[in-house]
């Protein structure tokens, strides 16, 4: 069993969510379109989910919740925040962090190899600008877990 919690030092976080997506764990999530579950959502969250299902907000939250429950009774409801797949924003943030750590503290977007890191016997062909051999920059081993990963909204 993997813990999907994203807080530092607890569970597998992103790895658990990626594993959950790979095995299709979303199919086993329970129906969340119940009075008990939806009562836990804020008015804004409830209205946002209702609008995804073409349910107009009502004057009272209780009425909006009842209309949403009726709308998803047959199809079921699983909130996007409960699903295992990474959102596009999370994937982008993760890619930026991996890129940042892979290239140490270089500026984002500047992923060129510094020629000073090339071995002395590397041959640079200055005629057409092709590089025949350049060593990859050394990556220092460091524990970056203390940076954490921001909790999902």
DSSP string, the chain: ------STTSS-THHHHHHHHHTTGGGGPPP--SHHHHTTS-HHHHHHHHHHTT-PPPSSHHHHHHHHHHHTTTT----GGGSSSPPHHHHHHHHHHHHHHHTTTPPTT--PPPGGGS-TT--B-TTT--BS--PPPP------GGG--PPP-
Q: What is the tens place of the pLDDT at every residue in 82-126?
A: 888 888 888 887 777 766 655 555 445 555 555 555 455 445 444
The winner for highest mean pLDDT among 8-12, 14-18, 35-39, 133-137 is 35-39
* Mean pLDDT for all residues in the chain: 74
Confidence of residue 151 (pLDDT cuts 50, 70, 90): very low
Instruction: Provide the pLDDT confidence category of residue 147 given band limits of 50, 70 and 90.
Output: very low
């Amino acid at each position: 069993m993997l813990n999907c919690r994203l807080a530092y030092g607890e569970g597998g976080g992103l790895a658990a969510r990626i594993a959950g997506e790979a095995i299709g764990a979303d199919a086993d999530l329970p129906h969340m379109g119940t009075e008990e579950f939806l009562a836990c959502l804020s008015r804004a969250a409830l209205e946002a989910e209702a609008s995804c299902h073409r349910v107009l907000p009502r004057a009272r939250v209780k009425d909006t919740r009842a209309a949403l429950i009726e709308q998803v009774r047959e199809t079921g409801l699983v909130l996007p925040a409960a699903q295992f797949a990474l959102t596009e924003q999370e994937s982008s943030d993760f890619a930026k962090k991996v890129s940042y750590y892979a290239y140490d503290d270089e500026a984002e977007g500047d992923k060129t190899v510094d020629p000073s890191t090339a071995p002395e016997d590397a041959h640079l062909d200055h005629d057409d600008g092709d590089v025949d051999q350049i060593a990859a920059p050394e990556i220092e081993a460091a524990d970056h877990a203390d940076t954490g990963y921001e909790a999902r909204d």
